[in-house]
Chain A
Amino acid sequence: MCATCGCDSDAKVSIHRVGEAGLLNVENLTLTPLKEPIHVGTEKRDRKEITLEQDVLLKNNLLAERNRGYFLAKEILALNLVSSPGSGKTSLLERTLLDLRGTENFYVIEGDQQTSNDADRIAATHVPVVQINTGKGCHLDSEMISSAIQQLHPQNGSILFIENIGNLVCPAMFDLGEQKRVVIISVTEGDDKPIKYPDMFQSSQLCIINKIDLLPYLKCDLDKLKQYARRVNPTMEFIELSCTTGEGLSQWYDWLKKEKLQEQSMLV
């Protein structure tokens, strides 16, 4: 069943390795098992009231905690990158993977509704990458990440980037088991994004402001943008950068190193 409108098309999630080894282990997860029609009978049955008080997203949250435990035990820094489409998530990843090549072990999980275009770009940097295509789905969930990890086999002490679906609404609700959520906003999107999409900015710990080389051509007030973001999340950290000119990237790399050290010190 379609994950957006419930139409009867067989929307399937596909998770596959992209890169040198080509298409490995294509796995199809059917989002909803097809159910036999339930016919309400006429026979009298006992009524029974059951109290659950159960979180609707309990399963996702439990599996997210399992992923988090896996990352912690293996000292892997897992980051969930979220943004609207076109903010430059993949460009930031490409640049990061090339600039820091040889200094860290990186792995990438790419989430998109369709195509492996982004995973192909990552594979060109020779970093192991798994593409998740959600079909009609608008977000990644912890089960998809769990399956993707089983294909990636990330090494101990590595850094795993999870590039979520470009969408500032739905991915906010789904914990993937990441240590930190990084929201990326480009200056072309307008400075009031944080209060238009407060859930995403509230649940993120770092806000990367991308494409700052375009600031001279735009009416985007960075102070205002940060003020808005702090209204939703007073402890938010900010890094301003440009993947095109390279300005500010060293701050991002320092942040990654700091976070990785923190991750390792949690086990001591």
Chain B
Amino acid sequence: MHEFSIVMSIVETAEEKVKEHHAHSVESIDLVIGDLAGVDSHALDFAWESAVKNTVLQTAKRNIIHLAARAKCLECDCEFEIKELFDGCPLCGEPLLQIMQGKELQIKSMILN
């Protein structure tokens, strides 16, 4: 359940930004989470609810932008959508891949009040 640590990092950043911009609280926050980021949405929801209590994110609307994962086969250069880390190349079957997208775990933006 590392999702709690993740939410705590988000809370910490939000607190810093609110202070830096002399704001009061966060109205909304946009997060980008890749499908291979290793974050479970249900665990994140569960952690979010308790972690944001009494913080600047308490009433914030949370938007999650999910990014589908994409990989490139280092043998045949084929680019494809990857569902699991152990998926091989759909063309040549090789496992030697470069993950192009899907590992992202970012705070994209916030609206401060």
Question: Is the C-beta of A248 less than 8 angstroms from some C-beta in chain B?
Answer: no
A141 near B59 with CB under 8 A, answer no
Q: How far is the CB of B46 from chain A (nearest CB, A)?
A: 8
Question: Is the C-beta of B24 less than 8 angstroms from some C-beta in chain A?
Answer: yes
Question: Is the C-beta of A216 less than 8 angstroms from some C-beta in chain B?
Answer: no
Residues from chain B with Cβ under 8 Å of A230 in the complex = 95
A45 near B23 with CB under 8 A, answer yes
Question: Is the C-beta of B63 less than 8 angstroms from some C-beta in chain A?
Answer: no
B108 near A52 with CB under 8 A, answer yes
Question: Is the C-beta of B27 less than 8 angstroms from some C-beta in chain A?
Answer: yes
Q: How far is the CB of B83 from chain A (nearest CB, A)?
A: 11
Question: Is the C-beta of A38 less than 8 angstroms from some C-beta in chain B?
Answer: yes
Task: Given contacts A47-B111, A52-B109, list 15 more A-B pairs with CB under 8 A.
Answer: A1-B50, A5-B47, A6-B4, A6-B49, A6-B51, A6-B53, A38-B25, A41-B24, A50-B112, A55-B105, A55-B106, A58-B9, A138-B1, A170-B2, A173-B2
Question: Is the C-beta of B107 less than 8 angstroms from some C-beta in chain A?
Answer: yes
B21 near A3 with CB under 8 A, answer no
Q: Which of A36, A56, A172 contacts B106 (CB 8 A)?
A: A56
Known contacts A37-B54, A138-B2, A169-B2, A31 near B38 by CB under 8 Å: no
> Interface SS of chain B: helix, strand, loop or mixed?
mixed
Known contacts A55-B105, A55-B106, A60-B9, A50 near B21 by CB under 8 Å: yes
By beta carbon, the residue of chain B nearest A51 is B109
Distance of A35 Cα from B18 Cα, bound (Å):
14
Q: Which of B2, B11, B17 contacts A50 (CB 8 A)?
A: B17
A-B contacts, 23 of them at CB < 8 A, read: A3-B5, A5-B46, A5-B47, A6-B4, A6-B53, A32-B11, A38-B55, A49-B110, A50-B21, A52-B108, A52-B110, A53-B106, A53-B108, A54-B13, A56-B9, A59-B12, A138-B2, A170-B1, A174-B5, A195-B84, A198-B86, A228-B86, A234-B95
A56 near B107 with CB under 8 A, answer yes
Among B25-51, those with CB < 8 Å from A are 25, 27, 31, 38, 46-47, 49-51
Per-position binary interface string of chain A over residues 108-152, scored 1 when its CB falls under 8 Å from any chain B CB and 0 otherwise: 000000000000000000000000000001110100000000000
